[in-house]
């Protein structure tokens, strides 16, 4: 079947239909760079990474936009507390985010618009809303969007319109989930804003943008300038952004353009620690840097994430992490085995190209799983089934063209998930020594000197070399 995704706007799994295929415009809400992004944030970024990889694997031409929020209430508060200007505070966290992104093997977005660089687009959007009578200036000097003037308000979050507090206003970026009010598009500056450099001149008064305005202005500016459209194909983020952030984005964007803001909305569930959402607010967050310090490699974390469907909560536990590590290593070991078999060009009973048949079925199974609302747990299960079956064929002596075909397909599939453990370069001297010791161990086993064979195994282990005896011979790797 073709790609089907759960659209938050309709609460249904429906066929994915971009506006102008094969092009896909994809906007994902990025980090607020007042601090390090935590692994709960990266759980969301990883589901979006898999979505993009699958779209590209399926032949779509994806244009990916991810914003960097470098001005909002939290950024200003943090800059003021540190006695810094905005850029001085945020730049180190921007660099850290890119480093963490690369560590976790997330494909870079095509553009990373920063809010502070799109003030002209934001001011233009506010002006248009004022002209259309959907926005107004409050007595406090800020500009608000009148949600009563936008009849579709509440569709995404499924708010009951009777809950709307007509005429009531809220200036903060984040507010109570059950308290829909007119929200600030443009906030009149105060002394703290001026102190940190969060103030810009505009026809409707010197001020700064509200958080919700930023994403609309940046995304519309990017797709409008590049493609001449005002509708995104995909808009993604975590479920806590549905209201008020994404609901407000829809209101201000569609009120300004008269066009649907996004055709499909995707939202990922939280990563929980001991049953509680990971959050800076709760002080229970880990960063990608913490993972590295704890020896958790990218393949392990990606495996952990993709073993749970993106719309289901993910529990981060030591047990789950250990299982993910073992799974990632198993996949890495299998790929090494395929590569070694292919490198030797070993001929054997191809069993009717059984390995190639298994690999082609794997590709079809993974595609079908991901087409079904990005069902990564099912897709990974099919990968492990393939590894088990293919190892059995290799143990029985299968080789030849089937190995090359299996390796090619396996690499294509693994490129979607990028869950293999990081490769380790082995020094030629160590490799020669390992082969010498394995040959000596083989001689000892053939002469039934098992004590010597065990001693050599321990000798290898002391150098960080792990071995495994299989019907096809002894395999080794550095751990």
Cβ neighbours of residue 393 under 8 Å, at least 6 residues apart?
Answer: 351, 354, 355, 358, 402
Q: 0.75 exceeded by the pTM?
A: yes
> Apex CA 151: angle with CA 146 and CA 156, to 5°?
100
Give the integer Cα–Cα distance in Å for 387 and 335. Answer: 9
219 burial class (0-12, 13-18, 19+ CB within 10 angstroms)? buried
Cβ neighbours of residue 9 under 8 Å, at least 6 residues apart?
Answer: 155, 156, 262, 264, 265
CATH class of 19-292: alpha beta
3-state secondary structure the chain: CCCEEEECCCCEEEECCCCCCCEEEEEECCCECCCCCEHHHHHHHHHHHHHHHHHHHCCCEEEEEECEECCCHHHHHHHHHHCCCHHHHHHHHHHHHHHHHHHCCCCCCCECCEHHHCHHHHHHHHHHHHHCCCEEECCCCCEEECHHHCCCCCCCCCCCHHHCCCCCEECCCCCCCCCCCEEEEEEECCHHHHHHCCCECCCCCCEEECHHHHHHHHHHHHHHHHHCCCCEEEEEEEHHHHHHHHHHHHHHHHHHHCCCCEEEEEEECCEEECCEECCCCCCCCCEHHHHHHCCCCHHHHHHHHHCCCCCCCEECCHHHHHHHHHHHHHHHHHHHHHHHHHHHCCCCCCCCCHHHHHHHHHHHHHHHHHHECCCHHHHHHHHHHHHHHHHHHHHCCCCCHHHHHHHHHHHHHHHHHCCCCCCCCCCHHHHHHHHHHHHHHHHHHHCCCHHHHHHHHHHHHHCCEEEEEECCEEEEEEC
pLDDT one digit per residue (tens) for the chain, 479 residues:
699 999 999 999 999 999 999 999 999 999 999 999 999 999 999 999 999 999 999 999 999 999 999 999 999 999 999 999 999 999 999 999 999 999 999 999 999 999 999 999 999 999 999 999 999 999 999 999 999 999 999 999 998 877 888 789 999 887 777 778 999 999 999 999 999 999 999 999 999 999 999 999 999 999 999 999 999 999 999 999 999 999 999 999 999 999 999 999 999 999 998 777 777 666 678 999 999 888 899 999 999 999 999 999 999 998 999 999 999 999 999 999 998 887 665 554 444 588 999 999 999 999 999 999 999 999 999 999 999 999 999 998 877 788 989 999 999 999 999 999 864 445 657 777 888 898 889 888 878 899 999 999 999 998 888 888 765 467 777 76
Exposure string over 163-195, b if 16+ CB within 10 A, otherwise e: ebeeeebbbebeeeeeebbbbbbbbbbeeebeb
Question: Parallel, antiparallel, or unpaired for β 182-188 and 207-209?
Answer: antiparallel
Six-digit token pair at 396?
């029985």
Question: Parallel, antiparallel, or unpaired for β 23-28 and 61-66?
Answer: parallel
């Amino acid at each position: 079947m073709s790609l089907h995704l759960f659209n938050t706007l309709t609460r249904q799994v429906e066929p994915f239909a971009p506006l102008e295929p094969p092009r896909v415009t994809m906007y994902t809400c990025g980090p607020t760079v007042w601090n390090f992004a935590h692994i709960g944030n990266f759980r969301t970024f990883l589901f979006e990474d898999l979505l993009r990889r699958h779209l590209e694997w399926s032949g779509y031409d994806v244009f990916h936009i991810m914003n960097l929020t470098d001005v909002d209430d939290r950024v200003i508060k943090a800059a003021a507390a540190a006695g810094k200007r905005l850029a001085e505070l945020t730049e180190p966290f921007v660099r850290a985010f890119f480093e963490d992104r690369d560590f976790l093997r997330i494909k870079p977005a095509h553009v990373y618009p920063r809010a502070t660089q799109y003030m002209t687009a934001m001011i233009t959007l506010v002006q248009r809303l004022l002209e259309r009578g959907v926005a107004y200036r409050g007595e406090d000097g800020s500009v608000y969007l009148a949600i009563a003037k936008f009849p579709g308000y509440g569709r995404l979050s499924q708010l009951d319109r009777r809950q709307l507090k007509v005429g009531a206003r809220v200036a903060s970026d984040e507010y109570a989930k059950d308290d829909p009010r007119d929200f600030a598009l443009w906030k009149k500056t105060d002394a703290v804003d001026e102190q940190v450099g969060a103030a810009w001149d505009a026809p409707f008064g010197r001020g700064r943008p509200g958080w919700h305005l930023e994403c609309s202005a940046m995304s519309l500016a990017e797709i409008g300038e590049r493609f001449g459209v005002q509708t995104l194909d995909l808009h993604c983020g975590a479920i806590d952004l549905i209201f008020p952030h994404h609901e407000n984005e829809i209101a201000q964007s569609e009120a300004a353009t008269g066009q649907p803001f996004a055709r499909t909305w995707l939202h990922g569930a939280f990563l929980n620690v001991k049953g509680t959402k990971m959050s800076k607010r709760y002080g229970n967050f880990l960063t990608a840097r913490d993972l590295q310090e704890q020896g958790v490699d990218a393949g392990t974390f990606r495996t952990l994430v993709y073993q749970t469907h993106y719309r289901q909560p993910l529990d981060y536990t030591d047990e789950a992490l250990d299982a993910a590590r073992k799974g990632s290593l198993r996949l890495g070991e299998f790929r090494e085995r395929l590569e070694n078999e292919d490198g030797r060009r070993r001929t054997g009973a191809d069993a009717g190209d059984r390995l190639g048949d298994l690999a082609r079925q794997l590709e079809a199974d993974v595609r079908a799983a991901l087409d079904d609302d990005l069902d990564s747990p099912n897709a990974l299960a099919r990968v492990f089934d393939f590894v088990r079956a293919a190892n059995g064929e290799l143990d029985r002596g299968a080789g030849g063209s089937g190995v090359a075909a299996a390796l090619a397909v396996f690499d294509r599939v693994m490129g979607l998930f990028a869950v293999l453990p990081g490769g380790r370069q082995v020094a030629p001297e160590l490799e020669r020594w390992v082969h010498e010791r394995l040959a000596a161990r083989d001689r000892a086993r053939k002469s039934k000197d098992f004590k010597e064979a065990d001693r050599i195994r321990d000798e290898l282990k002391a150098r960080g070399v792990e071995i495994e005896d299989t019907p096809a011979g002894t395999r080794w790797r550095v751990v």
